[in-house]
Structure 1
Amino acid sequence: MGMFTKDIETLHDLFVYQLKDIYYAERRIARALPKMAARAADLELRHGFETHARETQEQIARLEQVFQMHGAVPETAKCPSIDGIIDETDDVVGEVADKGVLDAALVAAAQSVEHYEIARYGTLVAWAQMLGRADSAELLRLSLDEEKATDEWLTMLAKTRLNRAAA
């Protein structure tokens, strides 16, 4: 289904389509995080990636609940945006030899992912509220709050240590 097809006729249709998008993204992220953790030299960064990988599994489970609440089967819609971010990460980190620079690159890549997720979850929360689905909005808000917290943690880590180590 393309973004502007006849399959999307209502806000509910658009909501379910975006659920499929973020479901794909979260599943792709769940596969990428262990690789990022393995590449991280900084132990706190590595631990953070491992923690967020577990959190991502919980977010996937929440998305599956939201699908069920809306009478939809959990399925994915290919997300070229997250594919591009993760592919770019693979390209960049594959070319960095210095461990400090590598950690800074991993943080930058992770924040790109977080910003994408924050945008998607924020939109889905707003749409769930517009659709009168406080139950869905609450589950999605939990994931949104986790993504924001991860982004803030990455910013703190970069500013206080990792960017200096890379310089």
Structure 2
Amino acid sequence: MKTKTPAKKATVKKTAPSKTQTKTQSKIPAKKNAAKELKDLFEDSLQDIYWAEKALTKALPKMYKNATDKKLQSAIELHLVETHVHVKRLEECFASLGKKAQAKKCDAMQGLLDEGKGIMEETEPGAVRDAGIIAAAQKVEHYEIATYGTLAAYAKVLKEKTCLKNLLATLNEEKICDKLLSKVADITLNSKAIKK
């Protein structure tokens, strides 16, 4: 009878980071006007998404004009109407906080919109461009879903009931739009975009 010898366990040697590593991984200093409380971060994030929604009211008509599929155009048109409502809801949030609605450039949304414009420039009009528009639009939707989900969580903890109600309503509409775009892509567009 052979006895099994236990397998040797791999050992991981723990080492302290070198001085070079700690210098490159140092803490980022806060700006002078940095958020000190969750409420500050909440208000700052509201300004970001307010800018993002207002920018979308200008970007969506360009997507509509470049789309050729009627169902895609319809989805974009519907979401443009909803986006105007999202702007109004955010303005209600600011009012409920006793603040003037103020937009602060959202670098993330600007990047997504620039990417969407690039996709349209790099695709021929028709099914391929339509598929690209959906991809760009869904990236925007996923960013908005993440943002509104986080803001709703902040509003809940801060007991900002008006904001929470508005943020959750918008979050739901963003999720529905994302599903609609997936449906449009799955039903016809992605198949049409395959070169035969």
Q: TM-score, normalised by structure 1?
A: 0.95
Whole-angstrom CA distance in 2 between matches of 1:40 and 1:165: 14
Confirm whether residue 9 of structure 1 aligns to residue 36 of structure 2. yes
Alpha-carbon offset, residue 135 of structure 1: 2.1
Alpha-carbon offset, residue 148 of structure 1: 0.3
Higher fraction of helix: 1
Instruction: State the 4+ residue runs in structure 1 displaced beyond 2 angstroms.
Output: 2-7
1:22 to 1:101, Cα distance in 2 relative to 1, 3 A:
same
Question: 1:73 maps to which residue?
Answer: 100
Q: How does 1:7-156 map to 2 (within 5 A)?
A: 7-156=34-183
- Which string of whole-angstrom CA distances, capped at 9 and with x for unpartnered residues, describes residues 117-145 of structure 1? 00110001000000012221011100000
- Which string of whole-angstrom CA distances, capped at 9 and with x for unpartnered residues, describes residues 32-62 of structure 1? 0011001110011111111111110000000
Q: Indicate the percent of aligned positions where both proteins have the same amino acid.
A: 39
Whole-angstrom CA distance in 1 between matches of 2:165 and 2:183: 27
Whole-angstrom CA distance in 1 between matches of 2:88 and 2:160: 18
Cα pair 2:119 2:136 within 8 Å, conserved: no
Whole-angstrom CA distance in 2 between matches of 1:78 and 1:4: 17
> 153-162 or 106-115, which moves further after superposition?
153-162
CA root-mean-square deviation: 1.4
Whole-angstrom CA distance in 2 between matches of 1:41 and 1:50: 13
Alpha-carbon offset, residue 6 of structure 1: 3.7
Answer with 1 or 2: which has the greater Rg.
Answer: 2
- Which string of whole-angstrom CA distances, capped at 9 and with x for unpartnered residues, describes residues 99-118 of structure 1? 11000000000000000100
Consecutive unaligned residues of structure 2, counting only runs of 5 or more, are 1-28
How many residues are paired up?
166
Q: TM-score, normalised by structure 2?
A: 0.81
Q: 2:51 is paired with a residue of what secondary structure? A: helix
